[in-house]
Amino acid sequence: MIRLHHCPQARSFRTLWLLHEMGLKFETVRHDFFDGSMRSPDFLALSPAGRVPALEIDGRVLFESGAIAEYLVETRPVAGLGRLPGEEERADWLEWLHFAETIGQHLANLTMHHITLREDWMRSPTVMRLEAKRLEKVLEVIERVVARHDWLLPSGFSAVDTNVGYGVMIARRFVPPTLLPAVDAYYQRLAARPAFQKALEQDGPAQIYTRDFYEVPDV
């Protein structure tokens, strides 16, 4: 049994999408990002930080999306979405897997200031501006790579495209896609994948990001 604990638009989308890419059977338990239920003792027993994803699998629970991706591809290698120890692209695969967290750091700060902090007086336009620029800079790293080949690795699509691809998807809310045409084309390729479409449909209505784009307010 595989059971994914998920919130719409949250980082658990990475795992949701990857499970579909791998063709695995799984159950989904939906949670609300804002109602405080992920602070309940029952959920904290699954995910000590009170966040998603939490994946019940093989008699245990994993609660870090990068670790989940690595575990899935190594325990179920037939899908071909990992690069295992000893393979030529292993180091690059690991680099991209962790680079997804660099993107996530900036997205988390932008989400905090634009969305989670509900009152204007709590927010910092300076932080919003700085983090949007920092996000743009990390997207430029992807731009240089996907301008040369379709996916992050020359050999083709892999699980790191789901983890980084989620970041690219959410980044479009804060950095205009027109600034980085190769990243935009990369996103369009990702969005055309059947597994992405299945995950997006299962993700449900927007809960966190209800605007197409979040402008930095005037100081």
Contacting residues for 93 by C-beta, under 8 A, at least 6 apart: 82, 83, 153, 158, 159, 160
For the segment 182-209, what is each residue's pLDDT rounded down to a tens digit?
999 999 999 999 999 999 999 989 999 9
190 shares its domain with 104: yes
| Helix segments in the chain, DSSP class H | 12-22, 41-44, 65-75, 90-111, 125-146, 159-171, 181-191, 194-203
Question: Span 119-126, mean pLDDT?
Answer: 93
Are 105 and 174 in the same domain? yes
Does 211 map to a domain?
Answer: no
Total domains in the fold of the chain: 2
The predicted pLDDT at position 129 comes to 96
Residue 219 lies in a domain: no
Cα distance between residue 57 and residue 138, in whole Å: 32
pLDDT at 217: 83
Which pLDDT tens digit goes with each residue over 158-175? 999 999 999 999 999 999
My answer on whether 18 and 62 are in the same domain is: yes
- pLDDT over 80 at 218, yes or no: no
Q: Do 161 and 133 reside in the same domain of the chain?
A: yes
Residue 146: inside a domain, yes or no?
yes
Residue 219, pLDDT above cutoff 70: no
As a whole number, mean pLDDT of residues 176-187 equals 98
**Is the residue at 168 inside a domain?**
yes
- Does residue 98 sit in the same domain as residue 146? yes
210 within some domain: no
CATH number at residue 104: 1.20.1050.10
**CATH number, domain at 51?**
3.40.30.10
- pTM given for the model: 0.96
- Do residue 96 and residue 195 come from a single domain? yes
Task: Classify residue 212: in a domain, yes or no.
Answer: no
Give yes or no for a cis peptide into 53 (omega within 30° of 0): yes
Do 65 and 138 reside in the same domain of the chain? no
Which residues span the domain enclosing 47? 3-79
Q: Are residues 199 and 95 in the same domain?
A: yes
CA 9 to chain centre: 8
**Residues 22 and 71 occupy one common structural domain:** yes
208: in domain: no
